[in-house]
Amino acid sequence: MAKIQPRIMVVGSTMIDMITYSKKIPNAGETVIGDTFALGFGGKGANQAVMARRLGATVFMVNTLGDDVFGDTTVKNFESQGIDTSLIKRVSGASGVAPIWVEPSGANRIICVPGANNAMTPQQAQSAVEGLADIKVVIGQLEIPQEVTIAAFSAAQKRGATTILNPAPFAPLDPRLIEVSDWIIPNETEFSGMHPRGLHPDSDSIIKELSDQLGCRFAVTLGENGAAYSDRSGTISRVSAPRVKAIDTTGAGDAFVGAFAYGLAAGLSDQEAAELGCICASDSVTRLGTQSSYPTSDQARTLLAQVTKS
Ligand code: RIB
């Protein structure tokens, strides 16, 4: 198969992940002894950029980092992966960090402290999008100010790019952001936050209710149960996830979004893009860490071939 290198832009966050693996999660006022600790590169935007890059996309990262060592190493990490960093700005102060706890089941709890991510501006995002030709997909999340994503998506739609919003972590959505999002892709927790009656995505009719209300293309990730998405007629279609033994689910949703974005940008059908998302997300939970759990470029090509059958 000829390698497709679609151009994808991520206007989103970077964090340094500080991951503690522990059998016991402390209650308030309690100290517990953990098992192991790892520092890694994270942030939902950065993770999605890395996943899309591993599959073969040309990826441009738009972000703001602090003037600390975390900012320096984050830029080096992107460069070592072949992700374009020319649209990253530096400001004085701390870069984003994310303390994370992972239980033996692989479930995680995350607190993001955005730091310099909050210094991103609508102007930075708009001129980044306007300055690049032939961007197929622009991805955003909620770890930077919503005004910034609105500016990026508005400019992207004017240039004919598809916009994908991963509304994570959950926050009430500015109606203007919904309007400029072609796709919205929450996980189950974010789905409940967005649903008018706080319902979980337990049935097609509940998923369709939120999808219809948002009025754009919609997918929801369902952990080990795969994903569901609304097709162009509004019917809910399901995609199953490969059965794997999960050891760390951190970043699995980002693997889905990055792979899904790659799929759309590369011209796969919605169904194929969702299958690729589920395959990459399931693969990632079998390894520890966030970006460190993602497939190598060679492994990603093998995963892609499962969908394109070539
Ligand atoms: O989705 C996982 C990511 O959430 C982590 O990398 C952490 O940085 C937070 O952004």
Q: Express each pLDDT in 260-289 by its tens digit.
A: 999 999 999 999 999 999 999 999 999 999
Active site residue 254: yes
Instruction: Kindly report, residue by residue over 99-139, the tens digit of the pLDDT.
Output: 999 999 989 999 999 999 999 999 999 999 999 999 999 99
Question: Which residues in 66-144 belong to E strands, given as ranges?
Answer: 88-90, 97-102, 108-110, 137-140
Q: What is the mean pLDDT of the chain?
A: 96
CA separation, residue 210 to residues 215, 232, 261 (Å) = 9, 15, 21
Length of the chain: 310
Q: Are 139 and 161 in contact (CB under 8 A)?
A: no
CA of 112 to the centre of ligand 1 (A): 7
Nearest one of 296, 304, 305 to 80, comparing CA atoms: 296
Residues 6+ apart with CB under 8 A from 59: 7, 8, 9, 10, 49, 52, 53, 82, 83, 84
Ligand 1 atom showing the smallest separation from residue 141 Cα = 10
CA of 142 to the centre of ligand 1 (A): 11
Structure token pair of residue 272: 């194929």
Nearest one of 85, 264, 103, 296 to 185, comparing CA atoms: 264
pLDDT score at 4: 64
Nearest one of 249, 113, 100, 253 to 190, comparing CA atoms: 253
Pocket of ligand 1 (CB under 6 A): 15, 17, 42-44, 47, 98, 110, 112, 143, 250-251, 253-254, 290
DSSP-derived 3-state class of residue 109: strand
Instruction: Kindly report, residue by residue over 244-259, the tens digit of the pLDDT.
Output: 999 999 999 999 999 9
pLDDT score at 225: 97
Asked whether the predicted pLDDT for residue 224 surpasses 70, the reply is: yes
Alpha helices in the chain (DSSP H): 44-54, 69-81, 122-130, 146-158, 175-179, 188-194, 204-214, 252-265, 270-284, 297-308
pLDDT band, very low/low/confident/very high, at 296 (cuts 50, 70, 90): very high
| 0.95 exceeded by pTM | yes
pLDDT score at 1: 44
pLDDT score at 309: 80
